[in-house]
C-alpha cells in the first residue's frame, strides 16, 4: 500500500469511518462552500473616518509609520519627503502596478527602477490590495504588478493603500480576493504585513529589521 493510502486508511480507521460517508462529505462540502465567518471582533466594525483612524492607530502600534495624502498625485512627493526626512537615498524600486505607474514620479528627483528586487535595493514601494483596520494589517498580492521580493528585501518598504480598500476585517479582504481570483483560487502569494520586520530571539529583546525591512511606511490615499 502506498504511504498515501495507508495514511488515509489509518485516519479512517482511527475515526471509525466505515461505509457510507454521504453525510460527512456533505458536511465538508457545505463548510467549504459557505466558509462561515466565526467570531468577528467588534473593534474593526466601524466605517468611514473611524475605520481609517483605527487602521492608522493599529498600524502605528505595530511600529509602522503612516501618512495620509488626499490624492494619488500627491504620493510621489510624500514618499520623497519621507526618504529625505530619514536621510535615505532618493532611490525607489517598484513593480508594474498601474496605479503606481500613473503617479507623477517625474515631479520628484527620485531615481525610479522597476521589477523584482535582487537584494541590493534600499527602498521599495508596493501597492496594497487592501488593508485591515482591526490590526493595522496590509494585504499584498504577488504578481508582476507587485513582486513579493519588494516586500522583504529592501531596508525600507513603503506601501501605498487606497482608503477605500481598508476593510474592517480579514474576512472582507478574503471576499475581495475571491471576487478577483474566483472561489477556491488564490494568487501565488498573499502577504499580510503588520509592521516592520523584527526579532526577539536574543534575550527576548525586541529588535527591528531582522531579515525584512527595518522600516515600514504606509501612505493612505484618501481620494475615492
Query: Considering only residues 150-209, where is the footprint of another protein by CB under 8 A?
Result: 151-153, 169-171, 174, 177, 184-205, 207, 209
Pick from 78, 108, 126, 148 the residue near another protein by CB under 8 A: 148
Contacts of 107 (CB under 8 A, 6+ apart): 76, 77
Q: What is the largest CA-CA distance in the chain?
A: 71
**What minimum distance in Å lies between the beta carbon of 49 and another protein?**
21
Which of the ranges 12-20, 46-54, 83-91, 101-109 carries the binding residues for another protein, by CB under 8 A? 12-20
Contacting another protein within 18-47 (CB under 8 A): 21, 24-25, 27-28, 31-32, 35-43
Site string for another protein, 64-83 (x = CB under 8 A): --------------------
Q: What angle is formed at CA 219 by the lines to CA 218 and CA 224, rounded to 5 degrees?
A: 135
| Dihedral angle computed from the Cα positions of residues 90, 94, 99 and 102, in that order, rounded to the nearest 10 degrees | 50
Q: How many CB atoms lie within 10 A of CB 8?
A: 13
Number of residues that bind another protein (CB under 8 A): 84
Between CA 199 and CA 194 the distance in angstroms is 14
Does residue number 211 form part of the binding site for another protein (CB under 8 A)? Answer: yes
Amino acid at each position: 500500500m502506498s504511504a498515501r493510502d495507508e495514511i488515509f486508511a489509518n485516519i479512517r480507521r482511527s475515526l471509525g469511518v466505515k461505509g457510507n460517508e454521504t453525510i460527512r462529505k456533505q458536511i465538508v462540502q457545505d463548510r467549504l462552500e459557505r466558509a462561515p465567518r466565526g467570531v468577528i471582533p467588534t473593534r474593526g466594525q466601524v466605517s468611514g473616518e473611524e475605520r481609517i483612524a483605527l487602521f492608522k492607530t493599529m498600524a502605528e502600534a505595530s511600529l509602522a509609520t503612516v501618512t495620509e495624502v488626499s490624492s494619488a498625485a500627491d504620493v510621489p512627493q510624500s514618499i520623497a519627503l519621507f526618504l529625505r526626512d530619514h536621510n535615505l537615498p532618493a532611490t525607489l524600486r517598484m513593480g508594474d502596478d498601474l496605479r503606481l505607474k500613473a503617479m507623477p514620479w517625474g515631479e520628484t528627483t527620485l531615481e525610479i527602477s522597476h521589477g523584482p528586487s535582487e537584494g541590493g535595493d534600499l527602498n521599495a514601494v508596493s501597492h496594497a490590495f487592501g488593508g485591515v483596520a482591526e490590526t493595522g494589517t496590509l494585504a499584498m498580492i504577488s504578481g508582476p504588478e507587485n513582486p513579493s521580493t519588494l516586500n522583504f528585501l529592501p531596508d525600507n518598504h513603503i506601501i501605498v493603500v487606497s482608503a477605500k480598500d481598508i476593510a474592517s476585517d480579514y474576512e472582507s479582504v478574503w471576499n475581495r480576493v475571491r471576487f478577483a481570483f474566483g472561489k477556491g483560487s488564490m494568487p501565488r502569494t498573499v502577504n499580510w504585513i503588520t509592521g516592520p520586520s523584527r526579532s526577539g530571539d536574543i534575550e527576548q529583546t525586541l529588535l527591528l529589521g531582522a531579515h525584512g525591512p527595518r522600516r515600514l511606511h504606509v501612505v493612505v490615499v484618501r481620494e475615492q
